[in-house]
Structure 1
Amino acid sequence: MNTLTRTLGTGVLAASLAAGAAQAAPRADTTPQATAAAATLDGNYVVTADGVRLYVKDWGPKDGPVVTFSHGWPLNADSWEAQMLFLADHGYRVVAHDRRGHGRSSQPWDGNDMDHYADDLAAVIEALDLRDVTVVGFSTGGGEVARYIGRHGTGRVKKAALVSAVTPFMLRTDDNPDGIPLEVFDGFRKAAQQNRSQQYLDIASGPFFGFNRPGAETSQGLVQSFWAAGMQAGHKNTFDSIAAFSASDFRPDLAKFDVPTLVIHGGDDQIVPVALSAEAVPRYVTQAQVIVYPGAPHGITDTHKDRLNQDLLDFVSK
Structure 2
Amino acid sequence: MGNGSSCFGQSHFTEVNGLRTHALVGGAGDPLVIVPGLGCASWMYTRLAGQLAQERTVYVYDPPGHGWSAGTWAYPTRIEHLTAHLAAWLRQMGLSGAALLGHSLGGEVILDLAVRCPGVAGALVACAPTGVPENPSVPIQLLRLLADLPRERLELLRLGFHAYSVPGVRRLFLLAYDQRRHLTGPLLGNVTLPTLLVSAGRDPVVHAWTIREIQRHVPQAEVQVIPGAPHALTDACPHEVARVTLDFLKRLESLRNN
> Where on the TM-score scale, by shorter chain, does this alignment land: which range?
0.7 to 0.9
**For residue 64 of structure 2, what is the aligned residue in structure 1?**
100
How many pairs does the alignment contain? 240
Q: Which residue of 1 aligns with 2:25?
A: 58
Please identify, of 224-233 and 249-258, the stretch whose mean Cα deviation from structure 2 is larger.
249-258
Residue 220, structure 1, aligned to residue 154, structure 2: yes
Secondary structure of 2:198's partner?
A: strand
Q: Which of 169, 177, 184 is the matching residue for 2:133?
A: 169
Match of 2:254 in 1: none
Contact 1:267–1:294 (Cα < 8 Å) also in 2? yes
Question: SS of the residue aligned with 1:298?
Answer: coil
Q: 2:148 aligned with 1:208, yes or no?
A: yes
Q: TM-score, normalised by structure 1?
A: 0.69
Q: Does 2:13 align with 1:48?
A: no
1:102–1:234 CA contact under 8 A, matched in 2:
no
State the distance in 2 between where 1:53 and 1:238 align: 20
Deviation at 1:87, TM superposition (A): 1.6
Contact 2:132 2:183 in 1 (8 A): yes
2:227 aligns with one of 294, 300, 304: 294
Decide whether aligned partners of structure 1 residues 230 and 94 sit closer, same or farther in structure 2, where only a CA change above 3 A counts. same
Classify 1:289/1:224 alpha carbon distance in 2 versus 1 (closer, same or farther; 3 Å). Answer: same
Cα 1:97–1:208 shift into 2, 3 Å = same
The partner residue of 1:237 within 171, 178, 186 is: 171
The one of 239, 253, 258 aligned to 2:192:
258
Q: Give the letter for the 1:118 counterpart.
A: T
> Do the aligned partners of 1:268 and 1:274 also contact (CA within 8 Å) in 2?
no
CA RMSD of aligned residues (A): 2.3
Give the fraction of aligned pairs with identical amino acids, expressed as a percent. Answer: 22
The structure number with the bigger radius of gyration is: 1
Q: Which has the higher contact order (CA 8 A, sep 6+)?
A: 1
Mapped to 1, the partners of 2:15 and 2:168 lie a distance apart of 18
| TM-score when normalising by structure 2 | 0.84
Q: Provide structure 2 residue ranges, at least 5 long, that are not aligned to the other structure.
A: 1-10, 252-258
Q: How far is 1:209 from its partner?
A: 4.8
**2:158 partner letter:** Q
Structure 1 pair 133–227 and aligned structure 2 pair: CA distance change class (3 A): same
The answer to whether the Cα contact below 8 Å between 1:134 and 1:160 also exists between their aligned partners in 2 is yes
Aligned to 2:74: 110
Query: What SS does structure 1 have at the residue aligned with 2:160?
Result: helix
Equivalent residue letter for 2:40: L
Alignment deviations for residues 117-150 of structure 1 (CA, whole Å, 9 cap, x no partner): 0111111110111143111110010111011112
2:237 is the counterpart of 1:272: no
Q: What is the aligned partner in structure 1 of residue 7 from structure 2?
A: none
CA contact (8 A) 1:143 1:250 kept: no
Task: Give, in whole Å, the separation in 2 of the partners of 1:187 and 1:294.
Answer: 24
Larger proportion of strand? 2
Secondary structure of the corresponding residue to residue 264 of structure 1:
strand
Taking structure 1 as reference, are residues 47 and 169 closer, same or farther at Cα in structure 2, changes over 3 Å only?
A: farther
